[in-house]
């Protein structure tokens, strides 16, 4: 029990440092380029989210699950990690080639101009670094070495902060675009140092082999799940952002973008703890009573903590918005309540979602992601026809996750009562 608490605390401290770095970058971006500038680079930030998650085939959760299961079977674990490294290497190189070849077309879609294709090329190269850190994070957390994950994150934040500040201060919008990529790339440096010092590094082999073995099949199911997750919601954000810019303006887009960046930072804390602590706990467990009651207890704690934090944030919302963004975003204080309501229910649904990931329930996970996306587009478009601004989008978000939470709970309870094996 004490080890679980220590592990959760280490993971939390690591992500808190990452969250603080994210707030710092968001703050200086908001100060130097304002709501319109932040709204203008929103599509690139969504693209960055997609490829940071998909880097290397999106094997992070798969590594955590299977390394934690195989850690007492050394040969099986080493073979699986070797397969994951080869799988990640091949997919990241192919992804880089595709991004580079279609960089002008992607730039035209994301920025409205081919002139920014250099940023797509930079992202293509950077995502190979993201893939490397995903491998290191997956293995270290699967083995229970949360202290390694924490050290890498904290050191990378120390490296990234001055570099990102200089980029944004010197190059404004261009610097902000680069800095968001750099903030995700800096963990590569401490990750390389750790991995070469690890006793497992010499035992792991890798190649460009395309022979699809049983380990690759296991990883592929996680790739499919993450492709759905990584593409569905960012694409939905791009669609909603484009619509909002048409019915309103880029100032309103920037206001909404500011809210989503703050939201992703604090919800990310809970997602990381669930991914690196809760998921390994559930992955090897087959007792439905244990899974059900553990899930409900974790959900209660997570939602209670979020409620307390959200209440504190809401009471002091004007001060927090000025601190985290700038006074240009103060109109957000009038509508942030809808984002907080949506996030409250989203956090609760996260817990059930990670049970699905832990059990590699591919079809169930994909269905859940598609339901969220369809709900969000539908309700945001409907409500924004009455409130053609950021308020309409955030009200749609709140309605989406209120409904999605109760759907998740109902399906989970049905599985428990019927003792159905996850799909």
Return the pLDDT at 3: 63
Return the pLDDT at 317: 92
> How do residues 87-137 score in pLDDT, each as one tens digit?
999 999 999 999 999 999 999 989 988 999 999 999 999 999 999 999 998
Return the pLDDT at 338: 96
**CA separation for the pair 145, 149 (Å, rounded):** 7
Task: Collect the ranges in the chain with pLDDT lower than 50.
Answer: 208, 423
- What three-state secondary structure class fits 388? coil
> How do residues 112-126 score in pLDDT, each as one tens digit?
889 999 999 999 999
Residue 231, class by beta-carbon neighbours within 10 Å (0-12 exposed, 13-18 middle, 19+ buried)? middle
Return the pLDDT at 384: 92
Q: Cβ(65)–Cβ(358) under 8 Å?
A: yes
Buried b / exposed e over 191-203, threshold 16 CB at 10 Å, is beebbeebeeeee
| CA 96 to centroid of chain Cα atoms | 20
DSSP 8-state assignment for residue 277: I
Return the pLDDT at 316: 93
């Amino acid at each position: 029990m004490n080890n679980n608490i220590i592990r959760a605390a280490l993971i939390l401290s690591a992500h808190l440092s990452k969250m603080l770095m994210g707030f710092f970058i968001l703050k200086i971006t908001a100060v130097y380029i304002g709501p319109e500038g932040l709204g203008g680079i929103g599509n690139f930030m969504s693209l960055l989210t997609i490829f940071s998650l998909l880097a290397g085939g999106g094997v992070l959760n798969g590594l955590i699950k299977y390394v934690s299961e195989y850690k007492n079977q050394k040969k099986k674990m080493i073979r699986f990690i070797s397969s994951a490294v080869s799988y990640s290497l091949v997919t990241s190189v192919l992804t880089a080639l595709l991004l580079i070849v279609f960089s002008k077309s992607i730039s035209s879609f994301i920025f409205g101009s081919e002139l920014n294709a250099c940023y797509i090329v930079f992202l293509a190269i950077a995502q190979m670094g993201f893939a490397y850190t995903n491998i290191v994070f997956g293995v270290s957390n699967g083995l229970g070495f949360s202290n390694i994950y924490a050290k890498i994150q904290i050191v990378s934040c120390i490296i990234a902060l001055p570099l990102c500040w200089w980029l944004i201060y010197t190059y404004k919008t261009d610097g902000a675009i680069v800095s968001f990529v750099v903030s995700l790339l800096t963990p590569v440096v401490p990750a390389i140092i750790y991995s070469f010092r690890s006793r497992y590094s010499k035992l792991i082999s890798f190649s460009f082999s395309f022979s699809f073995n049983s380990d690759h099949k296991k990883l592929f199911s996680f790739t499919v799940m993450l492709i759905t997750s990584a593409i569905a919601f960012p694409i939905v954000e791009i669609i909603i952002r484009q619509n909002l810019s048409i019915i309103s303006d880029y100032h309103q887009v920037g206001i909404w973008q500011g809210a989503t960046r703050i939201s992703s930072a604090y919800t990310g804390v809970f997602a990381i703890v669930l991914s690196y602590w809760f998921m390994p706990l559930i992955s090897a467990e087959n007792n439905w009573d244990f899974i059900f009651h553990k899930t409900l207890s974790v959900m209660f704690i997570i939602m209670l903590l979020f409620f307390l934090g959200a209440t504190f944030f809401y009471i002091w919302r004007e001060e927090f918005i000025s601190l985290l963004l700038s006074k240009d975003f103060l109109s957000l204080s009038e509508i942030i309540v809808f984002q907080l309501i949506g996030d409250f229910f989203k956090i609760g649904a996260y817990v059930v979602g990670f049970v699905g990931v832990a059990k590699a329930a591919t079809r169930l996970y994909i269905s859940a992601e598609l339901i969220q996306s369809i709900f969000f587009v539908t309700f945001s478009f409907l409500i924004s026809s009455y409130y053609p601004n950021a308020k309409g989008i955030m009200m749609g978000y709140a309605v989406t996750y209120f409904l999605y939470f109760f759907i998740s709970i109902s399906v989970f309870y049905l599985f428990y009562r019927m003792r159905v094996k996850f799909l």
